[in-house]
Amino acid sequence: MPGGVTTGNPLTAIESELVERMRGSDIISVRQFRPDELRTLLGIVQRFEGDTPPLLLGKVLGALFFEPSTRTRLSFESAMLRLGGSVIGFADAGITSATKGETLQDTLRIVENYCDVIVIRHPREGAARAAAEATTRPVVNGGDGANQHPTQTLLDLYTIQRRLGRVSGLRIGFLGDLKYGRAAHSLVEAAAMLGNELVLVAPPSLRLPSRRLEELAALGATYEETSELGPTLPTVDVLYVTRIQQERFADPLDFERVRNAYQIDRETVDRGKEGMIVMHPLPRVNEIHPSVDASPRAAYFEQAKNGVTVRKALLALLMGAVS
C-alpha cells in the first residue's frame, strides 16, 4: 500500500501527533476534538483535495444506514471508492436483522467481521457511541438522531476555512430552524468552541433550545438572539441557512409568514458585507432562491464537494493510511 498522501509538504510535528492519535479511533462527536485539534485536522484535510493515491486499496467500508440518507451515504461511498477501497452495507433498516429484534451492538459484532471501518447512521441518539463500544473497528457517526453529525460539521468548518482562510474570530449568522436542525446545532457548538461570535436568527417558535444556549454559556461563547435578518445581514462573515419544515407549524399560515420572512434571494445577499458567504446543509427548498446560486457568495454546493474531501481524509486517518 502506498505510504501516504502525495499532495502537500511532509506532516508537521503537530499533524503527526494527531495522525497517530486518530489511527484506529472513532469519530462520534465534534466534542471529542479540542479547538487546536480541529484546526490541525482541517489542515490535514486540505492534503486530500483532488486526486488521491489509493490509500485504502483492498479495504472495505461497512455503511450501516438505519435511517434514510442520500448525501451522507453517497459522499462516504464516493470517498471510500476514490481511495481505492470498496463499500458494503444497507440504506434501509427494514432489510436488516434489527427488524427481528437484534440489538445494535450484536449487529456490530457481526458486521465487524465483514469490513475494516464502519459508518453508521441511526435514529437513536447515542447509537454511534454504543456501536463504537461494541466493535474494535473504527466507527464514524453519520448522524445519530438529533444529537451529532460530526462529519457534516467538519465539512462546514472546512468550507469556511477554504473560503475565509480561518475558522476563528468570525461572526457567524445562523438562520431558520435552530430548534430542530441537527446540522446547525453541531456547527453552533463547534463555532463557539473555536471562538467565533454567533448571531442566532430564528422565529420565536424555532429558537435554539434553552439547553443548547446553556451549553454556549458554559463554553463562554458570545452570542445574540434575534428574529430579524435585516440588521444582522451586513454584520456577518458567514450566513448559515437551514430549512424550515412545514410540519413544525400547526398553522399553515404561520409557516407561510415565516418562510417568506426568511427567504434569501440575490438582492438580500448583495446587502451582505464584502466576502460574506452563504452556506446551507442541503437539501434546500425555498430558503435560498436559485438566483443566489450564481453569486460568488454561494458556498453550499462547495460544501457537498468538500464533504467527499473531508470524508476521504477521515477514513484514511482512522485506517492509519496517512504518514
By CB under 8 A, name the binding residues for another protein: 29, 31, 103-105, 122-127, 129-130, 144-148, 211, 214-215
72 tagged catalytic: yes
Q: Which is nearer to another protein, 215 or 302 (CB)?
A: 215
Per the structure block, which three cell numbers stand in for 139?
466507527
Angle at 285 between CA 280 and CA 289, to 5 degrees: 75
Task: Report the nearest approach of another protein to the CB of residue 122 (Å).
Answer: 8
Task: Report the nearest approach of another protein to the CB of residue 44 (Å).
Answer: 25
Task: Report the nearest approach of another protein to the CB of residue 154 (Å).
Answer: 17
Which one from 82, 122, 137, 149 is the annotated catalytic residue?
149
Total length of the chain: 323
Q: Which is nearer to another protein, 83 or 154 (CB)?
A: 154
Task: Report the nearest approach of another protein to the CB of residue 81 (Å).
Answer: 30
The whole-angstrom separation of Cα 159 and Cα 154 is: 9
Taking CA atoms, 182 is separated from 68, 208, 280, in Å, by 15, 11, 12
Which one from 47, 59, 82, 121 is the annotated catalytic residue?
121
Q: 174: which strand partners? A: 200, 240
149 tagged catalytic: yes
Contact 305, 156 (CB under 8 A): no
At residue 166, φ and ψ (nearest 5 deg) are: -160, 165
Q: Which is nearer to another protein, 104 or 117 (CB)?
A: 104
Which one from 72, 151, 153, 309 is the annotated catalytic residue?
72
280 tagged catalytic: no
The single residue listed with the C-alpha cell 480541529 is 38
Q: Which is nearer to another protein, 141 or 159 (CB)?
A: 141
Per the structure block, which three cell numbers stand in for 183?
446540522
The whole-angstrom separation of Cα 164 and Cα 172 is: 12
> Catalytic positions, please?
71-72, 100, 121, 149
